[in-house]
Amino acid sequence: MSYLKYSEEHEWILLEGDVVTVGISDFAQQQLGDVVFVELPTVGRRVEQFGDAAVVESVKAASEVFAPVSGQIVEVNEALEGDPELVNRSPTGDGWFMKIRLGDPEELEGLMDEAEYADFVASQG
């Protein structure tokens, strides 16, 4: 089973087994503008839910990418190092940032599904 969830910080996760793929939403990449640099975490690093996990820099600003769940980084998207614009071109596809082995499945309960996230973004006005 796999499904998409979102955080209030505009990260998305795709759960596949006990590993989640993490990226930023289309809304987030639009707000950032053209991404020019991505700093990825180290494989093996432990992250806490909503703690700093990566950095994305655009022509407008630098922003933290937060871990939507706690766990251990098991893979990073090295393609972003040479082509950070992948985040803009494919934010919920090839522009993913990292994969985290899920430490606490109950943390998924606090994340939004696609409809809830769409309402959340609309309320941000």
CATH number at residue 9: 2.40.50.100
For residue 18, being part of any structural domain is answered with: yes
For residue 15, being part of any structural domain is answered with: yes
- What pLDDT is recorded for position 2? 55
How many structural domains comprise the chain? 1
Range of the domain at 76: 2-103
46 burial level (CB within 10 Å; 0-12, 13-18, 19+): middle
Q: Annotate 3-12 with b (16+ C-beta within 10 A) or e (fewer).
A: ebbbbeebbb
For residue 41, being part of any structural domain is answered with: yes
For residue 49, being part of any structural domain is answered with: yes
**Per-residue tens of pLDDT for the chain, all 125 residues:** 458 999 999 999 999 999 999 999 999 999 999 999 999 999 999 999 999 999 999 999 899 999 999 999 999 999 999 999 999 999 999 999 999 999 999 999 999 999 999 999 999 86
- What pLDDT is recorded for position 3? 81
For residue 99, being part of any structural domain is answered with: yes
For residue 88, being part of any structural domain is answered with: yes
Q: What does the alpha-carbon distance between residue 107 and residue 93 come to, in Å, rounded to a whole number?
A: 23
For residue 112, being part of any structural domain is answered with: no
For residue 96, being part of any structural domain is answered with: yes
If one counts every other C-beta atom within 10 angstroms of the C-beta of residue 104, the result is 10
74 burial level (CB within 10 Å; 0-12, 13-18, 19+): middle
Tens digits of per-residue pLDDT, 109-123? 999 999 999 999 999
Percent pLDDT > 90 in the chain is 94
Beta strands in 1-112 (DSSP E): 2-6, 11-16, 19-24, 35-39, 46-47, 52-58, 62-66, 71-76, 98-102
